A and B are shown apart, each in its own frame.
Chain A
Amino acid sequence: MKYISSSLSLMLLAALAGLAQSDFKRFAGAGGFNLGTGNPVRNEYPILLRLTEGGVVKNEIRLPMSAAAADQTVVEDGPRMRVGDPLRPSDARVYVSGEESSFVSTAFRQVSLPGQKAILIQQQGGFEHIKREHRLYAGQKGKLVLVWSASEGAGPTWSAADIVDADGDGTDEIILYQGFAHPSAAETLSVTAFAWNAAQGRFVKTVAPRSYSLQAGIYPTLAKARQARENAGECGANLWILRDPARGYCLAARTVRKQAAEEAVKMVRECFPAASFR
């Protein structure tokens, strides 16, 4: 009887282990955070974030966008799935699946916080209209706690979240770039900074560090600025048409990373020789 009972227990454990494996197909992870796809729901594979400690799964959450396939392909960060600073690729790997409307990319980067681990996840999806979601989770007492997030609204929106340690104190800040490519008016581009607030246990808005403005050209009308950017093709793809009340419309970009601005201005000078940054 004891033998049968032990066999049953072993079978049950094996079944549970098998279930756990089929429930979560890991494709990336670091520092106790693991990303994987779960069992399909209505032909979509939920992308899951797991927090593990000592090999034990402590907590799991489902990310906003689901994948079209269980397996993800790894690609380098690039202009179409830009992670972090808007003007230069990060060293993050991007995990993609699907095509057109079902295309979803997921990238993660670790964030340094005092005494705890955190991970910033960016997802991008859509075809006709591309949308991005940013989620920053901290592992706190075996739980995944959402400590910061940003989504995009309606219309021709764009956003990017960068991780910087602006004051060099070992704790990262989040820089959120948000753009709106208005189809018939000047576009907008904002830079907002968020800093860790230990008392509140989350990131809160703070004074943004110095940002560098790359200026490629000034145009008297919106139409001329649009035409100049279109003529520049890929070379001008990162530029926004911003209203300059005194001078008209400026083809510009912003970053808080001086080196990124320096590198970007060199590239932009290929199509806008007078480009500068300040």
Chain B
Amino acid sequence: MPDITDSVGETGTNKTHDVALVQAMLKTIKNAKGASYLTTNYDGVYGKNTKAAIIAFQTDNKTTSATGDTAGLVKTGGATITKLNDLLPADRKTMRIVDGMKTVYLEGDAAVAKAKADAVAADAELDAAFRTKISQLVNSMFATHKIVLSIAPQGGRRTFAQQAALSAAVTGAGPGESNHNFGMAVDIGFDGLKWLQGDGTVKTDDSWLNTLAKVKAAEFSKFWEVRNDIALKAPVSVFKTKKAGDLIHLQNFDDTAVSYGRSLATLLDTAGAFRWQAQAGSPNTYKTSMGGTKFFNVGTSKQVWAQNATITKAMLAEVKTAKEPLVGGKPKKVWKEADIKATDLADMKKTLKGEFETAEAKRATWKAVP
């Protein structure tokens, strides 16, 4: 049942969230003529329109008394807030607001919240300790605010192929470079949050609160702060990415000193047949021995995954020469560019992608390295 934390109205305390909640109720409930008591949009600011709406409601419903609510004042537990609750339509009985905010929302469904929490807890693709924390976050968010959180589309463990398909406009992380690829991160947003627009109509938002962002940017940010108040503190204690990250993104570790490029190179180096190194940059590029002794730049992880590694016939000639047995201290055969066929290049590009596939299969051994 919607309730206020302090008095609203003439001589009231008029905390923003209490004013917004009372206003939203007065916007929703209609008088005998079928009109809302509050004639303006609800905004959390107490003024003459709110005063007039409270008095009109009290007059119609006879909720003032010498010892209770006086004209224009809504007290906690008083006759006016009780009557406001009584007259709310059935589908608005769960109006709610977070302290300090001015956007009223409808409580989520407890069964849905439990199902979402259970689904995260059972998601074997996520790191075991991490999924326990995220499940705890979903449960705590519902227990505290009656808001359902869930993992956004493609916001859980992402395969290397799914990572490769993401646009470079939205992520700088190629296949194997995202902590999503290792079950160490989730994009966890709002599961169909129903919030009341200024005119009292209900808007069902998406995981990212895109609709709210367009009309109430400050309130949009506050909803994420509300989530983070639980997510980033004990006992949940997960992390945001270092900087300029997405509001929706949470991960299992502090990445202040982590290099995702070097972390991937370390995994490739230990999991596959070739030696690998990362060259930090934007984007990261990678070097590999291709089974020889010298390291060659083979491009970005996205290029390697797409079998478009930046290898040349000259590189392959060097690699093949390095693999030749030594006769009198010299390679038995010195390979030249002309000796390398187009199919050799294609085969090596396929092999390099295979190294990534092997690394993905052994992703449980991935470690964040500086």
Contacts and interface: CB of A to CB of B under 8 A. Distances in A.
B35 interface: no
A103 B245 CA distance: 11
B213 interface: yes
A128 B179 contact: yes
A156 B165 contact: no
Nearest to B244: A125
A259 B213 CA distance: 33
B307 to A, nearest CB: 10
Contacts of A145: none
A80 B285 CA distance: 14
Contacts of A183: 152-155
B308 interface: yes
B48 interface: no
Interface centre among A130, A158, A182 (most CB of B within 10 A): A130
A102 B259 CA distance: 10
A181 B152 CA distance: 13
A237 interface: yes
B244 A104 contact: yes
A179 interface: yes
A114 interface: no
B249 A128 contact: yes
Contact of B165 (A66, A102, A226): A226
A77 to B, nearest CB: 14
Contacts of B258: 101
Interface string A112-143: 00000000000001111111000000000000
A20 B255 CA distance: 33
Given A129-B241, A230-B165, 10 more contacts: A80-B282, A99-B259, A99-B284, A101-B241, A101-B244, A101-B245, A102-B243, A129-B171, A181-B167, A181-B169
19 contacts: A66-B243, A80-B283, A100-B260, A126-B243, A126-B244, A126-B246, A127-B173, A128-B185, A128-B241, A153-B214, A154-B247, A155-B187, A155-B206, A155-B208, A181-B170, A183-B152, A183-B153, A183-B155, A237-B167
